[in-house]
Amino acid sequence: FEHMKNYSALLEKINGFLKPSGKLFVHIFTHKDHTYHFEEGWLAENFFTGGTMPSDDMLLYFAENFACVDHWRVNGTNYEKTSNGWLRIMDENWKAGKLAPVLAEAYGEGKEREWYVNWRLFFLSCAELWGYANGEEWIVSHYLFDRR
């Protein structure tokens, strides 16, 4: 969802995939209050090109074909721990020589260290964002929708 722009069309398409009694569960990274686009800067250039950080309630404005049954705000410290865990595993695989071939295949020969550093910075920045303010600023939003 973070890489989408036309949420109405996306949700309409998903609605068409579901059985009449189907439900939709959405897990999405959000900011507690503000929606913003990744238009420039390191994150926009390397990871979220054309992406959007939705606000916690943004998706509710586009769910014309769905009724929101429940909506949970999950504290960001859980994702902070996840990002730190991914960083630890990535570092272990880099030191063991397992990661460089994967990065070479994905990004090209000679780009392994650059992309190892990029991914390290990504995991560090995610951990810091979702851990900020005790995990209450950037959060994980969950929604349970019924078809209308």
Residue 111 tokens, joined:
């780009």
| pLDDT tier for residue 1 given thresholds of 50, 70 and 90 | confident
Task: In whole angstroms, give the CA distance from residue 65 to residue 83.
Answer: 34
Q: What is the pTM of this model?
A: 0.85
Mean pLDDT computed over every residue of the chain: 94
CA atoms within 13 A on the CB side of 36: 10
Domain ranges in the chain are 7-147
| pLDDT tier for residue 46 given thresholds of 50, 70 and 90 | confident
Residue 67 tokens, joined:
């009724």
Return the CATH number of 7-147, one of 3.30.365.10, 3.40.50.150, 3.30.300.340, 1.20.81.30: 3.40.50.150
| pLDDT tier for residue 110 given thresholds of 50, 70 and 90 | very high
Helices 77-95 and 112-131 cross at an angle (nearest 10°) of 160
For 11-38, what is the mean pLDDT?
A: 94
Place of tokens 């260290």: 113
Residue 92 tokens, joined:
């272990």
